[in-house]
Structure 1
Amino acid sequence: MKKNLINVILFVLAVAVFTSCKKDEYETIQIAKMISVKEMRALPTGITKATPAKRTGKIYIYNDYLFINEPNEGIHIYNNANPSAPVNVAFLKIPGNVDLAIHNNILYADNFIDLLAFDLSDMNNIKQVKRLTDVFNQLYSPGSEKYLYTYKDTVVKKRTSKDKIYYDAYSSSSSQGGSGQGGSMARFTLMNDYLYAVGLNNLSLFDVKTASNPTFLKAITLGWGVETIFPYENKLFIGTNRGMHIFSATDPANPVQLSTYSHIFACDPVVVQGKYAYVTLRTGNNCRQASNQLEVVDIEDPAKPKQLAVYPMQNPHGLSTSGDNLFLCEGNFGIKSFNIANKTKIGDNLLQHLNNIKSFDVIAGPKSLIVTGEDGVYQFNYTNAANLKQLSIIKAQL
């Protein structure tokens, strides 16, 4: 009886959270299915032939490669040496995966409640080198028996606007040194030979000084509503739906909380450049009390962050900075670029608004501006932030 009740609860959660519309009259929902931990660990993982993504999740760049997560399925790997013509080279199958980070040729990825490490030294022969079990155990179902949930795509009749549900995928899982670069929606990040992963209510620490042999150290309780993490100059900026935590990682094995910048209940990615943090707040399924806005926070004294400016937006999601430019995803309303040289005039310095792309996260990379949209992953030449020029699109098989 308990297991059936959990199934019903998870079915409702899956319908309400993990849906995306595909056709005019129909939509694909992901229905939850319970599996035991033993069954989960028996699911196949590892490298397979290249396949197109059905949905796009987190993005990550490392050397000349672009990694695109397909939520709960695994990671698509593209040779992105030429952003105008990315080449799909492989698919890394990882059931339950939503996040990743790469350090010294080792890729770390969540596999439901476990952390997996893969050696990328030979991209034609990627091998799993480590599994750390039970490190993300917030995903356990209630009760003494350990069950998890996975998903199955099902096509159903689309809801009308009258019964509309707000969808905003909430995953259960920017870097330095020999590491890659993730987007502002990341829940994994690397700094000073440590991997940091935020869960629903905590921060997990892993020692990755020996990259192929990650070691779990501890989890720090943060309170519910944790969403994203961003590293900058030996500090960790953790976005939650009620504010931004700032931690000092001067001692990387023992992060110390310096302060919390609070705001109204809202979905909250954050990026940092210099002595300023840029925070987006938006409405959505978990954020209905929020306003749609960009906040600029002065963090010169990280123990006393203070709001410098607020700018109204349409439905801001992920964001990225490069020099004096800020690139901001507006969900269904497109992507915008701003000049941010004058922090108190950003709202007056819109450079460009591409309103024909549904954008959710963005990375200002060394070769291209990489944007995740509903229909795929776009790349732009952003040499002139006022005139973004599309280089390519990796289409999702909707």
Structure 2
Amino acid sequence: MALSCDKNDDADYEFVQVASPQLMSKTAFRSSVEITMPQTIEKAGKIYAYKNYIFVSDVNKGVHIINNTNPESPKAIKYINIPGNEDISVKNDFLYADSATDLVVFDISDINSVALVERLEDVFNVYNHNIPIEADVVDYAKIDYETDIVLGWTLTTERRKKSDERFIDIAINDGANTTAESATGTGGSLARFQIVDNYLYTVGNYEMGIFNIQNLAEPILENTQYAGWNIETMFQAEGYLYLGSTNGMYIFNLVNPALPEYVSEFIHWEGCDPVVVDGNYAYVTIRGGNVCGQLESVLEVIDITDKSTPTLAKRYELDNPYGLGVKDNTLFICDGTSGLKLYNKADPLNLSMTKVFEDIQSKDVIPLENVLLMIGGDTLYQYNYLEDGVELISAFSLK
């Protein structure tokens, strides 16, 4: 028996990371929303605060509701099963959540009797912004867009014939900050949803959705527009939206809230990138290494006094940064495995680290009026504010 040892054959092939879709029929998908008793969290995602409640997402699966009336002893009370969920926002007891391609609305005025009141179908292009960043190739051919919903992606290494088409045609489209005491809740810096007055703004990989929520129970998709490239996060402050992308920060004004207007962009090296704004400065963490881009991880302080010309004012080295937040003269940075770091930002061009909480995993923070929320690993942390820092109130296991 003869074996072929043609080296040219091997030269025609390569190993690539292939993203294959995890599918559910649209019929099953749209009938699977369910409100249940508390469940174990499989993979903790983003956090959101509203009144005395904390909402923790279970990545691509749903939202856990925690009663935080007593921060020393928070209690999980409900779970909303929402397949394909990543973000939420709340206003006046109405909770808005993405569910893959759909926007769903819940009445949470009675937390013991949460009810689904509306579903807008095919308003999000979920197939782009949930693709693993490590993917070289995406198996779109496996998707029947008429009958299927993509809930997530499975990443495998495969030997495939070399092709000039490396990666994705992302043009495929299957369809069209306040405090916790106010009527609108507060998300962390990793959020993709923001509510401003009578509008809910959402961002995907490159597209912004603008929903009129004047009638809270019946939102209307007024517009969709190009938002930038590789958008990951969105922050709102004083009539502007600040979008964090892997390559920079985009600024839009809300003079016409139904159609945000592009103002400018600030370009930085490639990296995973949330942004928060305080006064005349935007604070951007850029996480390098792995799939996020460059090797360096930094905090960039951007002067936005002139919104049309944002300029880099200062750069500080970090280890493994994720989310961040601001309260008064303190900047909180979640530096991943290096813990939670506190900086005095009285002078943004001369930040000084005042405290570091090591030996914890930190991912995102929400600086509320009376308490600091932080999520990291499988734990929800809460801290009291002190004159010179913060002190731990509780560490609530999400498992």
**Cα offsets for 1:271-302 (capped at 9, x unmatched):** 00111100111114432225211111111111
Name the residue aligned to 2:286: 281
2:362 is aligned with what amino acid? S
Q: What amino acid maps onto 1:97 in structure 2?
A: N
CA distance in 2, matches of 1:10, 1:188: 33
Q: CA RMSD in A?
A: 2.3
CA displacement at 1:385 relative to structure 2? 4.6
Given the alignment of the two structures, is residue 300 of structure 1 paired with residue 305 of structure 2, yes or no?
yes
* Match status 1:193 vs 2:193: no
SS of the residue corresponding to residue 390 of structure 1 reads strand
Q: How far did 1:39 drift? A: 3.0
CA distance in 1 between counterparts of 2:86 and 2:213 reads 20
Instruction: Count matched residues.
Output: 349
Please say which structure displays the higher CA radius of gyration.
2
Task: State the SS of the aligned residue for 1:39.
Answer: helix
Identity %: 36
Alignment of 1:242 with 2:247, yes or no, is: yes
Is residue 267–residue 284 contact of structure 1 (8 Å, CA) maintained in 2? no
Of 353, 357, 360 in structure 1, the residue corresponding to residue 360 of structure 2 is 357
- TM-superposed deviation, 1:252: 0.7
- Cα distance between partner residues in 2 of 1:152 and 1:93: 19
**Divergent runs of 4+, >4 A:** 9-12
Counterpart of 2:172 in structure 1 is none
Query: How many Å separate the matches in 2 of 1:353 and 1:109?
Result: 34
Aligned equivalents of 1:121 and 1:302: distance in 2?
A: 39
Counterparts of 1:373-388 in structure 2, within 5 Å, are: 373-386=376-389, 388=390
Q: Which residue of 1 is the match for residue 96 of structure 2?
A: 108
Alignment of 1:1-398 (within 5 A): 12-13=18-19, 33-42=22-31, 44-139=32-127, 142=140, 145-146=144-145, 147-150=148-151, 174-175=177-178, 178-289=183-294, 291-346=296-351, 349-386=352-389, 388-397=390-399
**3-state SS of paired residue (1:337):** strand
Q: What is the one-letter code of the residue matched to 1:129?
A: V
Contact 1:175 1:189 in 2 (8 A): no
Equivalent residue letter for 2:353: L
C-alpha distance in 2 between matches for 1:129 and 1:360: 32
How far 1:11 sits from its partner (Å)? 9.0
Q: In the alignment, is the contact (CA less than 8 A) between 2:206 and 2:228 conserved in 1?
A: yes
Partners in 2 of 1:325 and 1:107 — Cα distance?
30
Cα shift at 1:175: 4.4
Give 3-state SS (helix, strand or coil) of 2:63's partner.
strand
CA gap 1:213/1:55 in 2 versus in 1, 3 angstroms: same
1:236-264 per-residue CA deviation (whole Å, 9 max, x = no partner) reads 00000111000001211010011001111
Change (3 A) 1:139 1:175: farther
Mapped to 2, the partners of 1:312 and 1:294 lie a distance apart of 6
Q: Secondary structure at the match of 1:38?
A: helix
Letter in 1 for 2:87: D
Unaligned segments of structure 2, at least 5 residues: 1-14, 129-138, 155-176
What's the offset of the Cα at 1:81?
Answer: 1.7
- Match for 1:342: what amino acid? D
Conserved? CA contact 1:72–1:95, under 8 Å? yes
Say whether the 8 Å CA contact 1:297–1:305 is kept in structure 2: yes
Measured in 2, the distance between the counterparts of 1:286 and 1:322 equals 31
1:55–1:396 contact (8 Å) kept in structure 2: no
TM normalised by structure 1 equals 0.83
Distance 1:258 1:317 in 2: 26
TM-score (norm 2): 0.83
* Kept after mapping to 2: 8 A contact 1:46/1:126: no
Say whether the 8 Å CA contact 1:265–1:290 is kept in structure 2. Answer: no
| Pairwise CA distance, 1:396 | 2.6
